[in-house]
Amino acid sequence: MSLRTLDSLGSVAGKRVIVRCDLNVPLKDGTITDDGRVRASLPTLNALINAGARVIVVSHLGRPEGAPDAKYSLEPVAQRLSELLGKPVAFARDTVGESARDAVAALEDGDIAVLENLRFNPGETSKDDAERGAFAEQLAALGDVLVSDGFGVVHRKQASVYDLAQRLPSAAGLLIATELEVLDRLTETPERPYTVVLGGSKVSDKLGVIDHLLPRVDRLLIGGGMLFTFLAAQGHKVGSSLLEEDQLEKVRGYIREAQEKGVELVLPTDIVVAAKFGADAEHAVTAADAIEDTPFGASGIGLDIGPDSAAAFAEAVRGSKTVFWNGPMGVFEFPNFANGTKVVAKALTEVDGLSVVGGGDSAAAVRQLGFEDAAFGHISTGGGASLEFLEGKKLPGLEVLGWA
């Protein structure tokens, strides 16, 4: 089976097309701080608008507890979407109630409306098939066709992602099609040398990815909080740095497997160690095998890879034809500990081949550090979904669209 795409729907002129986007953007005091996911939805929305569809956008935002909560309203997103599309965007103040029905009824060909946060209804995320199905029925009554384009949620068996696609003619949007094309290249047909850079806080979050990709890559670079479990697995002291002791044996297995398979496993040779976790904490650069030899002793905490490691990582990245990066190299939110992430990000913009930023914190980092999306080959919109795909897992939101 192959993925059903927009072409499979035929003409959508005059049809009510529900588009399941992922508009789960960060908000601060009601203001969007990173509109990357909104912009990523534009190609599909513009294609449908230009084809004369009556577009009904649905999405979640945050984790409300199945009830309306003003701080998770999609209204700021609807306003931003209007600015980016250059046309009015109607906003319904509920998901399947009177406001939603009125907003949909008022649509003309080429018009667009955004419904309120799907997760204000408990049926969206319910584990009960009947409750989820009942909510999907209510959503289905609003539209004629479903276009699923929220890649960040395709690993979730949720009403708007899975059950709705069983109740309406459905297809993947342009964003999902692009994500799958890129991720398929990373797993099946990577151009070599192929380098994967993993960071973020925990090894346990990346076990499946390492399991699946280790036999497929030429180099594996480890940074972020997870690096300290690797250092500890080699017998080094890591002070008060993040350490998952229950993963030490697993990590020793990865180190052995990399040697056996001829994969170059690259760990930092120097670390930025701080007196405490804080933006203005006193800090020093030390060798990776001498973390407790700083003035901070055993209370020192590693918050970034050091400058020598950052330079080595960058050289490895630039020398590759395919690079996948997921997880920052340090606490990039603090300028004193952002250098490793910034150096690696810049190297990704210089790859002569395919460079992929794997969503989530990595996508937020490159934007916060001032890089343009267009500087990279691809920035994924789905952190968790990207990782599960790269782990080789079946994703319900894709299977229901014919992907197998």
Q: Catalytic residue numbers?
A: 37, 202, 360, 384
Does the annotation place 378 within a ligand binding site? no
What is residue 302's three-state secondary structure? strand
Does the annotation place 278 within a ligand binding site? no
Distance CA 197, CA 326 (A): 6
Does the annotation place 394 within a ligand binding site? no
Does the annotation place 60 within a ligand binding site? yes
Does the annotation place 359 within a ligand binding site? yes
Residue with tokens 């600015």: 83
Nearest Cα to Cα of residue 221 among 54, 57, 340, 117:
340
Does the annotation place 206 within a ligand binding site? yes
Torsion angle, alpha carbons of 333, 339, 342, 345, to 10: -120
Record the tokens describing residue 330, joined without a space: 């340090």
- Can you give the length of the chain in residues? 404
Does the annotation place 393 within a ligand binding site? no
Does the annotation place 63 within a ligand binding site? yes
Does the annotation place 156 within a ligand binding site? yes
Distance, CA of 9 to chain centre:
27
Distance CA 394, CA 391 (A): 9
Rg, Å, the chain Cα set: 23
Does the annotation place 352 within a ligand binding site? no
Strand 112-114 and strand 270-274: the pairing is unpaired
Does the annotation place 129 within a ligand binding site? no
Contact 392, 150 (CB under 8 A): no
Does the annotation place 302 within a ligand binding site? yes
One-letter amino acid of 190: P
Annotated binding residues for ATP, written as ranges, equal 206, 302, 333, 359-362
Annotated binding residues, written as ranges, equal 22-24, 37, 60-63, 119, 156, 206, 302, 333, 359-362
Annotated binding residues for substrate, written as ranges, equal 22-24, 37, 60-63, 119, 156
Annotated binding residues for (2R)-3-phosphoglycerate, written as ranges, equal 37, 119, 156
